[in-house]
């Protein structure tokens, strides 16, 4: 995780020192990653309208040709449309400023959108897999030629949408979990279109109608794989898990290895959006290292190192001797 955030430092709030008479606090805060929210919202909005338009074409053609591959891809595109709309809304909401009721702001909304999209992905994957398995045992006639034409157009559209979102996210410094969830939807569409094209070609040249069901099973497999991946990551964030790519032991070692620190207690790492790192800890500082009238030099040095090495955007360090009521007996 790179340190690309603008750091704003200030002293601890007066009411925070009430936790113990001898405790001091150091904080650092950072703003949003530059441009990511507006850019992501615009990209997902454009992709939403494009995908919604083609969805109708694919669904009508799938019903006309009796192609499960096209119908399943159309329903997946429906989930894409919902995912893109939800993702675009979440990306814009995440830019709202914190309020007295929501002191962390709205960054977590993107993670909630990713979690919801992953659930949709899994539901559609199970439905398509069931339908495809049924058709493997009871194959049906399919009009392969128009199916192949529409699948080819769908492939071109899906690749364009995928490249549009992927390149834009890279230009903004990386994809949010929200965008990653949407990209898995679109990637499933790309494979679904490829599978439908292959199935159409096989049926035209060999007459083997089960190819349509096989294409549906392949699409379902991609949906289920993407679903579990995004579900796992988003759930990890929602339960305050350590951010991906951050080694908690390495972060703790930085605190414990500082010459002015005797012990570290009540150590916590978490993230709001998957792209930021928050840290809080209670550190016991050598008496000679403390300077009560000002911010302790030890905490100032530690914050700078944590920001530089791990990209921490919000660091809260409480200093002073550790008492049972401070850390919930964790250090006793």
Beta bridge partners of 264: 283
Please give the pLDDT value at position 29.
47
Number of domains in the chain: 2
Q: Are 175 and 259 part of one and the same domain? A: no
Its domain, for residue 311, covers: 7-33+243-327
In this structure, what CATH number is given to the domain that contains residue 283? 3.30.70.1350
Please give the pLDDT value at position 249.
92
Q: Are 27 and 57 part of one and the same domain? A: no
pTM over 0.85: no
Q: Are 102 and 228 part of one and the same domain? A: yes
Q: Pick out the chain residues at pLDDT < 70.
A: 1-41, 69, 72-73, 76, 79, 169-176, 287-296, 320-332
Q: Are 109 and 211 part of one and the same domain? A: yes
Rounded distance between C-alpha atoms, residue 79 and residue 50, angstroms: 14
Q: Are 231 and 115 part of one and the same domain? A: yes
Q: Are 44 and 116 part of one and the same domain? A: yes
Domain closes at, from 238, 257, 290: 238
In this structure, what CATH number is given to the domain that contains residue 59? 1.20.1510.10
Please give the pLDDT value at position 244.
80
Rounded distance between C-alpha atoms, residue 215 and residue 199, angstroms: 6
Helix (H) or strand (E) holding 123: helix 108-137
Q: Are 196 and 220 part of one and the same domain? A: yes
The SS3 of residue 139 is coil
Decide: 24 and 319 in contact? Cβ < 8 Å: yes
Alpha carbon of residue 261 to chain centroid: 35
Q: Are 312 and 232 part of one and the same domain? A: no
Structure-token match 């009508």, residue found: 60
What is the per-residue pLDDT across 58-67, written as a single tens digit (0 to 9) for each?
788 878 887 7
Decide: 190 and 73 in contact? Cβ < 8 Å: no
Please give the pLDDT value at position 189.
76
**Is 1 a domain residue?**
no
Q: Given the DSSP bridges, would you call strands 312-319 and 277-285 parallel, antiparallel or unpaired?
A: parallel
- Number of helical H runs and strand E runs in the chain: 9, 5
Token duo for residue 182: 């949407």
What is the per-residue pLDDT across 148-194, written as a single tens digit (0 to 9) for each?
888 888 889 889 888 888 887 666 666 667 777 778 778 877 887 88
Rounded distance between C-alpha atoms, residue 125 and residue 229, angstroms: 14
């Amino acid at each position: 995780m790179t340190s690309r955030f603008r750091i704003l430092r200030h002293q601890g709030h007066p009411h925070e020192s009430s936790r113990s008479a001898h405790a001091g606090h150091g904080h650092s805060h950072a703003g949003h990653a530059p441009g990511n929210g507006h850019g992501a919202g615009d990209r997902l909005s454009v992709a939403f309208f494009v995908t919604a338009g083609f969805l109708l074409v694919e669904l009508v053609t799938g019903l006309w040709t009796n192609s499960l591959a096209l119908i399943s891809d159309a329903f997946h595109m429906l989930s894409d449309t919902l995912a893109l709309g939800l993702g675009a809304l979440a990306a814009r909401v995440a830019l709202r400023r914190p309020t007295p009721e929501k002191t962390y702001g709205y960054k977590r909304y993107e993670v909630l959108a990713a979690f919801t999209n992953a659930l949709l992905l899994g539901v559609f994957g199970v439905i398509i897999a069931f339908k495809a398995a049924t058709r493997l045992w009871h194959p049906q006639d399919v009009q392969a030629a128009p199916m192949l034409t529409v699948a080819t157009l769908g492939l071109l559209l899906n690749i364009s949408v995928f490249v549009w979102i992927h390149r834009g996210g890279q230009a903004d410094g990386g994809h949010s979990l929200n965008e990653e969830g949407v990209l898995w939807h679109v990637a499933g569409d790309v494979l679904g279109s490829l599978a439908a094209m292959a199935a159409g070609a096989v049926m035209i040249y060999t007459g083997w109608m089960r190819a349509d069901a096989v294409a549906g099973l392949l699409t379902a497999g991609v949906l289920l794989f993407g679903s579990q991946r995004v579900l796992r990551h988003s759930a990890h964030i929602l339960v305050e898990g350590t951010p991906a790519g951050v080694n908690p032991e390495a972060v703790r070692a930085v605190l414990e290895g500082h010459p002015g620190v005797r012990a570290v207690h009540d150590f916590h790492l978490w993230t709001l959006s998957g792209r930021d790192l928050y840290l809080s800890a209670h550190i016991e500082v050598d008496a000679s290292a403390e300077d009560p009238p000002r911010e302790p030099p030890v905490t100032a040095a530690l914050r700078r190192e944590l920001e530089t090495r791990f990209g921490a955007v919000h660091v809260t360090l409480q200093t002073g001797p550790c008492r049972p009521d401070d850390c919930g007996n964790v250090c006793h």
